[in-house]
């Protein structure tokens, strides 16, 4: 159980996600085991952090991760929530709540940070690179349509234009710097 990811909240270590072997993970908080999940949960956690960085969500902290009990001591990650483009809001911190590797500046991420992040999760760096490429490609292809559909559905004006610009910039940075 030596591989794992330190989980930070407001510059304080609050726990550690650990590889407990056999494709399972566990979260250790103040010495207590809260739950175990599958390798699928590790991949979902990686996808969540990739999305947070791409979407400019610096507020992706441990309180935004929940576990669902499947009985008999089996826990899985709950669906993700509180996914907001905080980089488009001037009055909030723009530091990632959970670092990528040791980097908390979403505008200064590089493939080396993602490689360190992959190793912390016990995942192959190439796997994380593939997950990044999937999300980058999807956002490049669909961001404009998703933005427009959301505006029409909720009868908005230009309130989300800054968020869209942030996401486009993050996708461009990802294409240039995150992919090895």
DSSP structure string for the chain:
---EEEEEETTEEEEEEEEEETTEEEEEETTEEEEEEEHHHHHHHHHHHHHHHHHT-TT--GGG--EEE-STT-EEEPPP-----GGG-TTS--S-SS-BTTB--GGG--HHHHHHHHHHHT--HHHHHHHHHHHHHHHHHHHHHHHHHHHHHTT--STTHHHHHHHHHHHHHIIIII--
| Token representation of residue 18 | 């650990």
Give the pLDDT band (50/70/90) at residue 8: low
CA dist., res. 83 & res. 52, Å (int):
7
Residues 15-41 have a mean pLDDT of 55
Q: What is the pLDDT of residues 62-96, one digit of tens each?
A: 788 887 777 776 777 888 889 999 999 999 999 99
Q: Which residues partner with 24 through β-bridges?
A: 21, 38
All structural domains of the chain with their residue ranges: 4-178
Does residue 97 carry a pLDDT above 60?
A: yes
Residues 45-53 have a mean pLDDT of 94
Does residue 109 carry a pLDDT above 50?
A: yes
Helix axes 161-173, 125-153, angle to 10 degrees: 160
Report the mean per-residue pLDDT for the chain.
83
CA dist., res. 152 & res. 99, Å (int):
35
Handedness of CA 100, 103, 106, 110 (dihedral sign): negative
Q: pLDDT at position 38, please?
A: 61
Residue in 54, 167, 179 with CA at minimum distance from that of residue 110: 179
Q: What is the pTM of this model?
A: 0.79
């Amino acid at each position: 159980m030596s591989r794992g990811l330190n989980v930070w909240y407001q510059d304080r270590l609050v726990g550690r996600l650990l590889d407990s072997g056999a494709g399972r993970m566990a979260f250790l908080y103040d010495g207590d085991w809260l739950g175990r999940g599958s390798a699928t949960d590790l991949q979902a956690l990686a996808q969540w952090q990739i999305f947070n960085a791409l979407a400019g969500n610096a507020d992706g902290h441990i309180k935004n991760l929940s576990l669902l009990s499947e009985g008999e001591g089996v826990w899985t990650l709950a669906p993700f929530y509180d996914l907001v483009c905080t980089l488009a809001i001037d009055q909030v911190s723009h530091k990632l709540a959970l670092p990528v590797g040791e980097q908390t500046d979403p505008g200064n991420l590089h493939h080396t940070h993602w490689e360190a992040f992959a190793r912390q999760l016990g995942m192959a760096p190439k796997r994380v690179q593939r997950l990044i490429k999937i999300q980058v490609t999807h956002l490049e292809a669909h961001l404009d349509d998703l933005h427009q559909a959301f505006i029409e559905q909720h009868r908005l004006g230009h309130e989300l234009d800054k968020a869209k610009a942030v996401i486009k910039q993050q996708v461009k940075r990802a294409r240039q710097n995150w992919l090895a």
